[in-house]
Amino acid sequence: MLAPRPWAAEILHVWFHLLGPDDWFRGGDDVDALLERRFAREWHMLHRRPAREFLTDPLTAQAAVLLFDQVPRNLFRDDPRAFASDPLARAIAKGALDRGWDEGLGQDARQFFAMPLMHSEDNADQRRSLRYFATLGDSFVLSFARSHYRMIARFGRFPHRNDVLGRRSTDREEAAIKAGNAW
């Protein structure tokens, strides 16, 4: 089944069929260029729309979560815009998960539905992320959810974002970054 919106069908195809785990989590210039060429226009056109516009069907919601959570991290590395559409991605993800739209999807698709919760600097979102990723049965991905949760529980924010977002880091946050807590 194809997503009813062309951009949504395209992003799902690119993300899950042309790209793979190395591209998703390690990225690189080629992946960034591909995503910019294919989806920058859509991100700019749609990132200020209300979440309800993307909660019309499961595939549109899934594509929108990718467009507003994952894609800007590739388009805008070392730029505050990398996180600009996080609230929208979270709202869509929560709406889709509340509707059970992740059920029946494969492991990779399910994890990306909940990734905005892992990326959130809100404790309640982090707790929901932990519960969700625990149900997936993937200890590797769950370890990332736990490490994200620990950073928010400890600092109330992700210290590795401080420079990009113009926030001053504490000595403890700097130590956490140097210890490898910069996903």
pLDDT over 90 (residue 20): yes
Q: How many CB atoms lie within 10 A of CB 59?
A: 18
Q: pTM (2 decimals)? A: 0.95
Q: What is the CA radius of gyration of the chain?
A: 16
Per-residue pLDDT tens digits for 84-111: 999 999 999 999 999 999 998 999 999 9
Question: What is the identity of the amino acid at 22?
Answer: D
Q: Does the domain formed by 19-178 have CATH 1.25.40.10?
A: yes
Helices 58-65/86-98 angle, 10° precision: 150
Per-residue pLDDT tens digits for 131-172: 999 999 999 999 999 999 999 999 999 999 999 999 999 999
Which of 169, 105, 164 is closest to 136 using CA atoms? Answer: 105
